[in-house]
Structure 1
Amino acid sequence: MAEPKWLKDMNPDEYLKEDYEANGEAKAGTTIHGIDKDDPDWLDKAAKKVNAAEGNDYVKLDAGLMTVNQLNWMLRNTIGEMTFVDDNNQLLWYNRPIDPNYKMLASRKPSDIGNGIGKCHPKQATATAKKVTHALRTQPDGHDEVEMPVPNGNLKKLIYHRYKRVEDDEGNYAGTYEWVQDIYPLVKYFCETTGQKLVIDPDATTGATYRKNSDTDAVSGASSKETEKKPEEKPDTSTGASQHE
């Protein structure tokens, strides 16, 4: 992943202390005890233990009233892959895809629920993940979110990760909300409907990985020659053509 500089500069002696086995206690007192975190049936057993709402039971939210079914239906259809990890680094939820054949960019499965988040990361990614968690927990220089593109050398696959600090009503760290998406379809549609193009900046000092395998003739990946200045065009508000520069 392409890390922002402030994240790269963090002290590994601090962020590697993050307990990714979730052996601690959530400050909000919401940790469910007495069930093996690695139990593949953790969700059902934990829900039964706390008499969790389900099905057509209503849940009162801060700006709405919905059944559990309605929440599930809505979240399954929300764009992108979403995950919530509490302040104890325990994976509590993700929006399971409707399509069973869909291959998630950040792989999750129902049996992961209840696990320490360390179980959901490949070993080579654990240090970076801990860095993100620790950054959101401690907010160096006031940062409350981390954005990371994933360079892969392909302008038609723009993988984007966004991690957001979640706070309780008193402003204390309550966990991390992660959103992962291939934003290429969004960029492609935006370009096609506004008359703009995604181009390569030959003078850019970063993003070199993207330049090696790019399709320069693609609709959203036109040749870098498009960046050359052209005579000023009259605005065309119906297509956004005035933005072709």
Structure 2
Amino acid sequence: MNSFLPEVEKLPEGHPVKVYYQESELIQKLLSELYEADAVADFQQYFNIFNQLTTIEKRFARKENQLFPYLEKHGWNGPSRGMWSFHDNLRDQIRLLNTYNTERNTTKIIENLPYLIEGIKRLLTIEDMRLFPIAMQMLSEDDWKEFYEGDEEMGWMLPQKPKPYPAIENGYIHPSEDFTERDLPFSLEDTFHYDEGYMTPNQVNLLLRYLPVDITYVDENDKVIFYNRGEDRVFPRSKGIIGREVRFCHPPKSVDMVLRIVDEFRAGTKDVAEFWFNYRGQIIHIRYFAIRDKHKNYKGVIEMSQDVTEIQKLKGEKRLLDWD
């Protein structure tokens, strides 16, 4: 493991691959501690280490939404299929162990924990031996310079946020933290006419950002062309997804279903598909809508995801504001 590390150490601070290896060091430390932990003698110590390890989800999300799309643009689709499935297997193991953690079933924890530890070790080896060396060969310096903003949206496992890459002298301000007030006069000169009414592009962007649903637009060529950047997304998204084929934007186990929906919409046999399920203690409602122009020509798909947990709890009526 870490055979590519000598090359990585030559990279500038904040380079995405260097950050991945800093995370790898942390992961290996946690795996060692988890291996030595005794869930029977000191459950809390084991549980704390396990919870810290589960932040590996941020690493998975960055790879799936950032690194993999760039590799696809250069013609390498393998990680979007094989490694994403590997991630999902590890997620399943983490969920299973979390069930046993809730029950404090130490017998099952001891029985299943080695599978998670060995699975993550195997993943780190594949990353080190194949994924990152090939990524460094395929991606240009300009590609790597585009990563930071999207990586920040996904998050890192590290205790401190990595320095921006490339370094920015005046400091980096993420769009979600930019609260500069801008004049938005209702002027036709600055607006566009929509079905009913006029808005500036900035107002449209604000409207989409504050909608309490995740929206992703896939065009008629099966390419992702838009997603809204809300504060509390149901599923992670980053700018690396723009221009990506929809078949690479979902876990391998659900790709066939997504492609069937797209095919039915394109053929005109269906217009809506919807699903709902439990996800991390939330009830998630997902809807797909076929988009057609006024001549009924297929123009793509809108995917909408929403946490409806609290909506499902509504009963009776509420006709008055109860802020007081």
TM-score normalised per structure 2: 0.38
TM-score where L is the length of structure 1? 0.50
